[in-house]
A and B are shown apart, each in its own frame.
Chain A
Amino acid sequence: MKGKTWLFWGGLIAAAGGVLFQTSYDVQDLEEKLAGLNRKIIQEQESIQVLKAEWSYLNDPTKLEQMAQAYLALQPTEPRQYMATDMIPMRPADAVPPAVQTPPGLAPLPPMVRAPGTGNSQLAAARAPAVPNAANNSGTTGIVPVGLPAGAALVKPLPMDKALERAPVVVPASLPASGALADPSRANRIKPAALVPGSARAPAEKSTDRAAPAAGKLAPTAPTSRPTELASRPTPAPAPKVAAAPAAQQQPYQPKPTDSLGMLVARLGANR
Chain B
Amino acid sequence: MSGQDLGGPAGYGQPGASTGSTYVPSPAPSPFPPPAPQPSVKPRTSLAVALEQSRYRLMVTAAVVTTVFTAISVKLAMATLLAGGGDPRQHVALEIGETTNNRADIIDRNGNLLATSLVTQSLYADPKLVSRPEEAAQKLVSALPDLDYKDVLAKLSGDRRFVWLKRNLTPKQQAAVHRLGIPGVAFEQEERRFYPAGPLTAHIVGFTGIDNNGLAGMEQGFNKRLIEEPGTPLQLSIDLRLQHVLKKELTATVQEFSAIGAAGIVFDVRNGEVLSMVSLPDFDPQDPTGLNPETLFNRATLGVYEMGSTFKIFNSALAFESGKIRVSDMFDAAHPVKVGRFTINDYHSLHRALTVAEVFQHSSNLGSVRMIQLIGVAAQKAFMTKMGFTRPTGLELPENGWPLVPNPWREINSYTISFGHGISVSPMHTVAAAASVINGGFFHKPTLLKRKPGEEIPTEQVVSRQTSDMMRRMFRFVVTEGTGRTAAVKGYLVGGKTGTADKQKGKHYEKNSRMSSFLGAFPMNDPRYIVYVLVDEPKGIARTGGFATGGTVGAPTVGRIIKQIGPLLNVPTLDENAPEILNTTYLNAAGSTNWQQSLPPVTAPPPSKGSTVASFPTQTKPR
Contacts and interface: CB of A to CB of B under 8 A. Distances in A.
Interface of A: 31, 34-35, 37-38, 41-42, 45-46, 49-50, 52-57, 59-62, 65, 76-84, 87, 89, 107-108, 110-111, 174, 176, 259, 261-262, 264-272
Contact of A270 (B169, B193, B566, B613): B169
Contacts of A60: 196-198, 200
B85 interface: no
B613 A110 contact: yes
Contact of B573 (A45, A61, A80): A80
Contacts of A174: 171-172
B492 interface: yes
Given A37-B93, A42-B94, 13 more contacts: A52-B113, A56-B116, A78-B563, A79-B563, A79-B566, A83-B613, A83-B616, A84-B572, A89-B618, A261-B170, A268-B168, A269-B286, A271-B146
A149 B149 CA distance: 59
B368 to A, nearest CB: 34
Interface string B433-463: 0000000000000000000000000000000
Contacts of B329: none
A65 B244 contact: yes
A53 B113 contact: yes
A265 B169 contact: yes
A272 B192 CA distance: 14
Looking at A50, A53, A54, A108, the one whose CB has the most chain B CB atoms below 10 A away is A53
Given A53-B196, A268-B192, A270-B168, A80 B491 contact: yes
Contact of B197 (A42, A56, A108): A56
Contacts of B331: none
B91 A31 contact: yes
A89 B169 CA distance: 62
A261 B169 CA distance: 10
Contacts of A107: 615-618
Contacts of B215: none
A56 B240 CA distance: 11
A266 B490 CA distance: 46
A263 to B, nearest CB: 8
Contacts of B167: 270
Chain B interface extent, by class: 35 or more
A79 B492 contact: yes
B172 A259 contact: yes
Contact of A53 (B118, B243, B287, B616): B118
Nearest to A39: B94
B101 interface: yes
A49 B191 CA distance: 12
B120 interface: yes
Most chain A CB within 10 A, of B166, B197, B200, is at B197
The 6 closest A-B CB pairs, nearest first, are A56-B196, A262-B170, A61-B244, A270-B168, A56-B113, A57-B196
B351 to A, nearest CB: 39
Interface in B572-623: 572-573, 612-619
Given A61-B240, A82-B573, A56 B112 contact: yes
Nearest to B290: A272
A55 B91 CA distance: 34
Contacts of B492: 79
B101 A268 contact: no
A70 B101 CA distance: 38
A209 B294 CA distance: 52
B194 A268 contact: yes
A62 B194 contact: no
B118 A81 contact: no
A265 B168 contact: yes
25 contacts: A38-B91, A45-B99, A46-B100, A49-B116, A53-B113, A56-B113, A59-B196, A60-B196, A61-B241, A61-B243, A81-B567, A84-B572, A87-B613, A87-B619, A174-B171, A261-B170, A262-B170, A264-B118, A268-B118, A268-B168, A268-B192, A269-B286, A270-B167, A270-B168, A271-B146
B74 interface: no
A34 B192 CA distance: 28
B241 A80 contact: no
A42 B244 CA distance: 34
